[in-house]
Structure 1
Amino acid sequence: MTEHLLKKLESAGCSPGVVAHCRAVREVALTFAADPLVDRQHVDEGALLHDIGRGVSHALDHAEIGGALCRAEGLAEEVAAIVERHIGAGFTADECSLLGLLPRDCMPRTIEEKIVAHADNLVKGTRIITIEERLMHSLDLPARLKKRMYRLHLEMELFR
């Protein structure tokens, strides 16, 4: 299954660096997916494909584009939602609108969506970082978004 998804990343135009990042995020995400309540397959697929939209754009809209690509490929809606909602700790519909994105709720809601968003926050390139490092790299973000990211961290660490 993994090889099939890696081919999807490549065919979407993702660079080797993006593919390596996706693999690293997948490895981190799976460390949070041991609980029987977690759909491990959705975490696996969503984490590996979370940046598929970067083959088209490196802006915030890569998540929106990635969700659309996943749907066009006929992947599970749960996987498309993980891809759409993985940035930081998510955006409300109002925040999306203010950022020039479609005005839809992009807050991670399911445990699988939260795991992948958190894992992505803990990987810079292919290097695993701490939440403190992520927040230091996010100094320009509004305080409410940094608090949201930290709250997501606290919730997800219960699954490690």
Structure 2
Amino acid sequence: MREEDCIDHLRRAGCSDGVIAHCRAVRDLALAYASDPLINRDLVETGALLHDIGRGVTHDLCHAEAGGEICRSFDLDEGIAAIVERHIGAGLTADECSLLNLVPRDCMPRTLEEKIVAHADNLVKGTRVITLEERLHHAIALPRRQRKRIRRLAQEMELFR
């Protein structure tokens, strides 16, 4: 999907210019991890551009869930909807979703494309690329297992950079 089409979807969903700028920064970083021929670069680019589409509705944790629903309502590819739903931190288990009052479904990134977008989003604060250490410092309030998951995802993804 062309960048202009993605931006149109973000605007249609109610996303601000700040959210759109963040999505572009995540896209730029995500593409740095998508050089392996096994990776669908178009899916990474589109998924990264649309990963925060749910922020047009809410800025809380359920923006990923809302974003997946928006993607489906726009008849976008299920692979894009999955990237959007699974980009929070390094993913959420069905039990964690339930505890957070989200739909109790597995939201762990599984594909390389899902993992790349989640990792890139972890390393972009606003439009600025930050270090993994900075991300973990900002995530200090998260349970230890989630912080470890973010670190493991980073270690796995750094192999592709």
Q: How far apart, in 1, do the equivalents of 2:42 and 2:29 lie?
A: 14
Aligned residue number for residue 100 of structure 1:
101
Aligned residue number for residue 41 of structure 2:
40
**RMSD of equivalent CA atoms:** 0.4
Q: How far apart, in 1, do the equivalents of 2:124 and 2:26 lie?
A: 6
TM-score (structure 1 length as normaliser): 0.99
Aligned residue number for residue 6 of structure 2:
5
Aligned residue number for residue 74 of structure 1:
75
Aligned residue number for residue 124 of structure 1:
125
Q: How far apart, in 2, do the equivalents of 1:103 and 1:77 lie?
A: 19
1:23 aligns with 2:24: yes
Which amino acid is the alignment partner of residue 23 of structure 2? Answer: C
Task: Give 1:11 shift.
Answer: 1.1
Q: How far apart, in 1, do the equivalents of 2:42 and 2:78 lie?
A: 13
Aligned residue number for residue 62 of structure 1:
63
Please identify runs of 4+ aligned residues in structure 1 that moved more than 6 A.
Answer: none
Deviation per CA, 1:113-135: give whole Å up to 9, x if none.
00000000000000000110000
Which amino acid is the alignment partner of residue 25 of structure 1? Answer: V
Deviation per CA, 1:80-109: give whole Å up to 9, x if none.
000000000000000000000000000000
Which amino acid is the alignment partner of residue 52 of structure 1? Answer: I
